[in-house]
Structure 1
Amino acid sequence: MKEAIEIVDNTIESKEYIQDVHNKSKGWITNVNITKENGFRQWHYTLDDLLKLDFDKEDTYISLNTFYKPMRRIETIKELNCSFIDLDIYKTKFTKTQILMNLEDNYYNKIIPEPSITLDTGRGLLLIWKLEQTPYMALPLWKAIQEHLYRQLKVFGADRMALDATRVLRVPGSINSKSGTRVKVIAKYDYVYSLREIQREFLPELNETSKKKKGRPKKVVYVHRERSLYQGRILDIVKLCELRNYDVEGQREIILFLYRYYLCYFYEDEEKALDDTIELNNTFIKPLAIKELTRATESAEKVFKSKNKQYKYKNDTLIELLDINEYEQTHMKVIIGKEEYKRRDREYQKNRYNQKLEEKGKMTEKEKISRRREKIKALLAEGLLQKDICKTLNISKRNCIRDIKYLKEHGLI
């Protein structure tokens, strides 16, 4: 195996690790501590404040990705900093040494990229791939890469429930209470990947060209597209609640049902989906009681488990169910009707046309009129009459009169 960078001091190791994965992070980072006395507790910190904490204690975790506000949910993700796989070695027939040697000889840079950081977590290993900082909209591709890494590494105990972008993971220097050992860095390299680089090298079926092929798409491609749709709908549901100032009593149950339904398919983790649904419910002016919420949305989980597409709603149905008006649709990402789609297409075509004009060094019609009015204003200041301005600028009398009227109405002359 390659020689790794060794770090011995526990305090230094924690801080160096955090700085390594979060060196450019601008979002909130979640810190979790689990104790017998207090159970699961989480807090949110900026990088500078996180570095002030003491991690020399049992069962402490941090998020490797960040959030734009102090809330650890899929729709609040700000930056994707890392991909990761948690290997539960104790569930396999292998030793850590056997797995590390096998990965080095048969997996790294052949079917998966080599990790930037490898941690010994006590009863397992944590593999981390540092990424060029990536915005939240790349989450479906990030998730597809996580799924690929999981499929390749499940023989070594890859944890299916530790694939979501909001996951918190153990920190070097802290103690795993189950094994009674410290979490430590056992390998670290300066590898920083881009999602597209990993996609090109290890998931070629997701290349853009694959979308153009006729026939039914491969399963991986289909799931990737479907997950992109779910992400958009999750974000739209939260945006709708925000636009309505979380006063959603009329559509409360259907909002929570759909949110839990789409989260189940995106996370593929029913427990996490329910936790996030409860969090969203708690933001409402009039939230449901937890038992009532669970009962009102439990069919979402049942459908997911049965792999039934029973609630595969079209946009028009969602707009009707959620009573989304035209103004609200302008703030949606994917839940939009035909008229809003046409409006966006017109805007796109207009912007594209203007961009082409700019590339050719030409002006848009609006810019031409603005420039003409500036010239008319200057010539009027020189004392020229309308007929002389028309002759000088080679414009019609009608345009000249209209522009002078505009300048007067707007107090420009």
Structure 2
Amino acid sequence: MRSTVEVVDNIDESIEYIDTVHGDSKGWITKAEISKLKDFRQWHYRVEDLLKQDFNKEDVYISMSTFYKPMRRIETIKELTNNFIDLDTYKTGFTKTQILMNLEENYFNKLIPRPNLIIDSGRGLALIWNIEKVPHMALPLWKAVQEYLYSQLKEFGADRKALDATRILRVAGSINSKSGTRVTILERYDYKYTLREIQSEFLPDLNEDRQKRKGRPKKLVYIHRERSLYQGRILDLVKLCELRNYDVKGQRETILFLYRYYLCYFYEDEKKALEDVLELNMEFIQPLSEKEVINATGSAEKVFKAKDKQYKYKNETLIDLLEISEYEQTHMKIIISKEEYKRRDNERNKKNYQERLKAQGKLSEKEKISQRRNQIKDLLAEGLKRKEICENLKISIKTYKRDIQFIKKQGK
């Protein structure tokens, strides 16, 4: 049962804010600061250490997601903990009060879920929905929810550049230097959503059953599928670098170009995409210069801005371009050959078959043979002869001889 809206009046709003957003988070959380000289700096903390930091200063932010290592990039996401929308209300011509009254009357629990936190961020508002934590595999669904919330709230100044899962938002209790005011919690709603709950209530077209229907998928479903593809390829490119110990000379430009290309489409934020590309480049054993990276990958951003899909490569093309071996493909999620796909499909079918047998209380052929050979060993130990064992187990002499050969080899 959902609790009622709670108006917050707490001196130490930073602690309450962080506890609401990341109370039981297990991964690294990014804290960032922007100085008066526009110098951007960031650090990474576990939640217990983040709570000890000083937020009584200007322009302090934290990430809405957590990361499995101290690095704020899409492929290092550990937990998706919140959905959020940043409203630049000063661009709308309406006051914050007018917008909140409109949202309360016409949107909350009608077109969108009620936010868990409504934050006065200085010149705007931030709406945050606290969700049961999900791993990075749920990123396409999480992103679909973000897009939906944006589509409903764009008339109130929703910032399209603030939709990605690595985004940082201002911390309640800190100071917005642009407005000269403190970031404050206006309302808190004590309830934790699940992604599936939001999807079911507000984005029903993403239901798996509907996706399987014949005919051309709706635009929302198509974008959801395409985003899943981009996410998988982003993760695969980084995995390839890891498998090669970041020694990728000869293919650095191609990897960075593809990485930037897919990030642009996934983030829809060219600046953030370039930041991540430059960061990945610095992990290479022999990195390119910043100028070389920008020049080598610049066309990826141009294609994205033009909404041109000319680099929509097939897996076979990517495998050839990057010379991905059969072994490396076994560690990939998306960039795999037809042969690797068939191998995985056979493994899944085999596993499903074994699980069905187990559920029915039956044995697989392999388990039957293993059991029979153990019985032969036990009967031999009891002193039974070959003929007696064959009669006892109802097997042929040929099967007995084959099992005995196997038992002898195993005993060596």
TM normalised by structure 1 equals 0.96
Which segments of 5 or more consecutive residues in structure 1 lack a partner in the other structure? none
Amino acid at match of 1:411: G
Residue 252 of structure 1 aligns with which residue?
252
Task: Report if aligned partners of 1:29, 1:66 keep a CA contact under 8 Å in 2.
Answer: yes
CA RMSD in angstroms, aligned pairs only: 1.4
**Paired residue type of 2:8:** E
Cα distance in 1 for partners of 2:338, 2:151 equals 39
Equivalent residue, structure 1, for 2:105: 105
CA distance in 2, matches of 1:200, 1:111: 13
C-alpha contact (below 8 Å) 1:28/1:68 kept by paired residues: yes
Q: CA deviation at 1:198?
A: 1.0
Asked whether the equivalents of residues 4 and 186 of structure 1 are also in contact (C-alpha less than 8 Å), the reply is no
Q: Residue 209 of structure 1: CA displacement?
A: 2.5
1:151-190 correspondence runs (5 A): 151-190=151-190
The corresponding residue for 2:323 is 323
Q: 1:406: how far off?
A: 2.6
Amino acid at match of 1:119: I
Report the Cα offset of residue 217 of structure 1. Answer: 1.8
The aligned amino acid for 1:213 is R
Structure-2 separation of matches of 1:113 and 1:175: 28
| Residue of structure 1 in register with 2:11 after alignment | 9
| CA separation of 1:370 and 1:59: change in aligned 2, threshold 3 A | same
Residue correspondences, number: 409
After TM superposition, the structure 1 = structure 2 runs for residues 110-121 of structure 1, keeping only pairs within 5 Å, are 110-121=110-121
State the secondary structure of the residue aligned to 1:82. Answer: strand
Residue-by-residue CA offset, 1:349-385 (whole Å, 9 max, x unaligned): 1111111111211111121122222222222222222
Partner Cα separation in structure 2 for residue 54 and residue 400 of structure 1: 76
Per the TM alignment, residue 213 of structure 1 is displaced from its structure 2 partner at its CA by 3.0
Q: Which residue of 2 aligns with 1:289?
A: 289
What is the identity, as a one-letter code, of the residue corresponding to 2:355? Q
Q: How much does 1:3 deviate? A: 4.9
Give the counterpart letter for 2:117 in structure 1: I
TM-score, normalisation: structure 2:
0.96
| Letter of the 2:95 counterpart | T
2:81 maps to which residue? Answer: 81
1:231 equivalent to 2:250? Answer no
Deviations 1:5-56 (A, max 9, x none): 323212xx21222122212211111111111358111111111111121211
Indicate yes or no: 2:76 matched with 1:69: no
1:238-387 alignment, distance < 5 Å: 238-387=238-387
Separation (CA, whole Å) in 2 of partners of 1:6 and 1:23:
17
| C-alpha separation in 2, matches of 1:264 and 1:317 | 20
Shift of 1:409: 2.4
Equivalent pair of 2:173/2:184 in contact (CA under 8 Å): yes
Shift of 1:404: 3.0
Partners of 2:10 and 2:26 in 1: how far apart?
Answer: 28
Residue matched to 2:31 = 31
Q: 2:193: which partner in 1?
A: 193
Equivalent position amino acid for 2:18 in 1? I
Question: Does the Cα contact within 8 Å between 2:30 and 2:42 map onto a contact in 1?
Answer: yes
Kindly state the Cα deviation for residue 58 of structure 1 after the two structures are TM-superposed: 1.1
Whole-angstrom CA distance in 2 between matches of 1:93 and 1:216: 40
Measure how far apart 1:262 and its partner are. Answer: 0.5
1:367-412 CA-to-partner distances (Å, cap 9, x unmatched) read: 1122222222222222222322222222222333333333332238
1:203 matches 2:203: yes
